């Protein structure tokens, strides 16, 4: 038996405000029919709080599920590309919300692959013997980066957070193997052009502060890489595709998910999908989907679960997990978000003011 990490707690935090396809029809020249057939998305959530607060609630829930307290955490990894600030890190703010004063904490930006990257980092920190209770959280307030004058991106993204607790185990359950990758040569095909120190100071075109994407090119690469990377991670784990009980892919587009499953030869009954409810929440999609899969009884003790993701960078990441004996939480947290003081359209008003009024709001 070798030391690895087991997922012993899980939790999510989805902000309550909903932005439906029908709401989007009132903002831009789009239709429920186009969005549903091209992406699988029906609605997404718009957060009234920062990514750190979403993360903290998801972490409280994951810790309760593992029977742990914030004081038990010795490492906190926050995967995000829409965090509160660069300094302090979002991890610093999450630590403060949680009062997890014994935790080392840092941000990790691998965009939509961030949670799976975090899972691999956390697992290896546990394997080193130096850390015993690791929180990995994917959290996003992506709507802040959305230009609603661009109908090709504004229908895709949403906000939310999901977290897991990792603890040491000598198996047979645990994170068995992973595959991580990056192709920086094509980083520009999915970017927020002006959101860092590169570039000139002074007045900038606000539209360069939003997400821009060559959708078809990202689509093509996502299908290829998620397939290849899942197969590689399974091979490293000494397993084959027939061993997979549940594939939990990054939720960016139902057509990417279906094409990836087809490429791999995994039956759709073994693929977890919740994109219709939340859209693409980047680093949060996989831990949120994992939490819902457990809540719905889709994971049984000993199951082989595969996570696979693709995103900005361009990054990709896959992980193979053998689930442990426990598929129900040990406890529940009573921590909740504060109720929203604005409706969804009011929350989007700053975007309209900054990026420019979308055609139907002009
Ligand atoms: O998380 C990882 C990163 N993101 C992704 O993985 C996303 C990858 N890409 C995609 O999911 C898809 O490429 C999109 C959903 C972004 C776009 O779907 P598509 O099937 O590739 O559409 P398209 O870009 O080829 O556009 C087809 C048509 C165009 O009209 P014309 O030129 O054929 O007249 C677009 O202008 O659809 C039009 N269109 C829309 N129509 C209504 C684009 N966006 C919309 C919209 N509503 N929201």
Indicate whether residue 75 lines ligand 1 (CB < 6 A).
Answer: no
Q: So what's the pLDDT on residue 170?
A: 92
Q: Do the Cβ atoms of 179 and 232 come closer than 8 Å?
A: yes
Q: Whose CA is nearest to atom 35 of ligand 1?
A: 152
Distance, CA 237 to ligand 1 centroid (Å)? 36
Cα angle 259, 323, 4; round to 5? 110
Distance, CA 7 to ligand 1 centroid (Å)? 36
- Tell me: pLDDT of 156 over 70: yes
Average pLDDT score, the chain: 96
Q: Which of 60, 143, 144, 250 is catalytic?
A: 250
Indicate whether residue 39 lines ligand 1 (CB < 6 A).
Answer: yes
Q: Whose CA is nearest to atom 20 of ligand 1?
A: 38
Indicate whether residue 280 lines ligand 1 (CB < 6 A).
Answer: yes
pTM over 0.85: yes
Lowest-pLDDT range of 34-43, 136-145, 194-203, 215-224: 194-203
Q: Could you tell me what percent of the chain has a pLDDT over 90?
A: 93
pLDDT digits (tens, 9 = 90+) for 35-52: 999 999 999 999 999 999
Interval 85-101 mean pLDDT: 97
Interval 94-101 mean pLDDT: 98
Indicate whether residue 212 lines ligand 1 (CB < 6 A).
Answer: no
Interval 242-251 mean pLDDT: 98
Interval 149-155 mean pLDDT: 96
pLDDT digits (tens, 9 = 90+) for 216-226: 999 999 999 99
Indicate whether residue 157 lines ligand 1 (CB < 6 A).
Answer: no
- DSSP labels for 178-201? EEEEE-GGGGGGEE-SSSSSSS-S
From the number of C-beta atoms within 10 Å of its C-beta (0-12, 13-18, 19+), residue 3 rates as middle
pLDDT digits (tens, 9 = 90+) for 314-331: 999 999 999 999 999 999
Q: So what's the pLDDT on residue 180?
A: 98
Interval 192-213 mean pLDDT: 84
Q: Do the Cβ atoms of 337 and 49 come closer than 8 Å?
A: yes
Q: So what's the pLDDT on residue 1?
A: 64
The C-alpha atoms of residue 254 and residue 271 are separated, in whole angstroms, by 11
Does the annotation count 102 as an active-site position?
no
Does the annotation count 250 as an active-site position?
yes
Interval 185-212 mean pLDDT: 87
Q: So what's the pLDDT on residue 29?
A: 94
Does the annotation count 17 as an active-site position?
no
- Tell me: pLDDT of 360 over 90: no
For 32-40, which contacts have Cβ atoms below 8 Å and span 24 or more sequence positions?
35/155, 38/253, 38/255, 39/155, 39/156, 39/253, 39/254, 39/255, 39/275, 39/279, 40/253, 40/254, 40/255, 40/257, 40/273, 40/275, 40/276
Task: Catalogue all structural domains in the chain, each as residue range(s) with its CATH number.
Answer: 4-352 (3.40.47.10)
Interval 15-35 mean pLDDT: 97
Q: So what's the pLDDT on residue 299?
A: 98
| Ligand 1 pocket test, candidate residues 187, 253, 275, most atoms within 8 A of CB | 253
pLDDT band at 196 (very low <50, low <70, confident <90, very high): confident
SS3 category, 163: strand
Distance, CA 215 to ligand 1 centroid (Å)? 6
């Amino acid at each position: 038996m070798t030391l690895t990490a087991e997922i012993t707690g899980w939790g999510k935090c989805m902000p309550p405000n909903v932005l439906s396809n029908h709401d989007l029809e009132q903002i831009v020249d789009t239709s429920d029919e186009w969005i549903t057939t091209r992406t699988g998305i029906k609605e997404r959530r718009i957060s009234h709080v920062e990514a750190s607060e979403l993360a903290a609630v998801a972490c409280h829930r994951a810790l309760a599920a593992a029977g742990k307290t914030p004081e038990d955490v010795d490492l906190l990894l926050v995967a995000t590309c829409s965090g509160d600030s660069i300094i302090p890190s979002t991890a610093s703010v999450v630590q403060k919300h949680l009062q997890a004063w014994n935790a080392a904490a840092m941000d990790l930006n691998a965009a939509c692959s961030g949670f799976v990257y975090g899972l691999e980092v956390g697992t290896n920190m546990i394997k080193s013997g130096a850390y015993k209770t690791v929180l990995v959280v994917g959290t996003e307030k992506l709507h802040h980066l959305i230009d609603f004058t661009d109908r090709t991106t504004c229908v895709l993204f949403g906000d939310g957070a999901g977290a897991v607790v990792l603890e040491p185990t000598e198996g047979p359950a645990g994170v068995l193997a992973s595959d991580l990758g990056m192709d920086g040569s094509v980083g520009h095909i999915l970017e927020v052009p002006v959101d860092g120190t590169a570039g000139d100071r002074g007045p900038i075109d606000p539209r360069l502060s939003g997400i821009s994407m060559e959708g078809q090119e990202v689509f093509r690469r996502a299908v290829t890489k998620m397939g290849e990377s899942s197969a590689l991670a399974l091979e490293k784990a000494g397993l084959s595709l027939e061993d997979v009980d549940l594939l939990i892919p990054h939720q960016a587009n139902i057509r990417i998910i279906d094409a990836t499953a087809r490429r791999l030869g995994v039956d759709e009954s073994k693929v977890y999908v919740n994109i219709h409810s939340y859209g693409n929440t980047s680093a949060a999609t996989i831990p949120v989907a994992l939490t819902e899969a457990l809540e719905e009884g889709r994971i049984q003790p000993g199951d082989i679960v595969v996570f696979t993701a693709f995103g900005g960078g361009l990054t990709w990441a896959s992980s193979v997990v053998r689930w442990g004996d426990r598929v129900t939480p040990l406890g529940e947290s009573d921590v909740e978000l504060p109720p929203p003081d604005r409706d969804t359209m009011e929350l989007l008003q700053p975007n309209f003011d900054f990026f420019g009024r979308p055609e139907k709001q002009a």
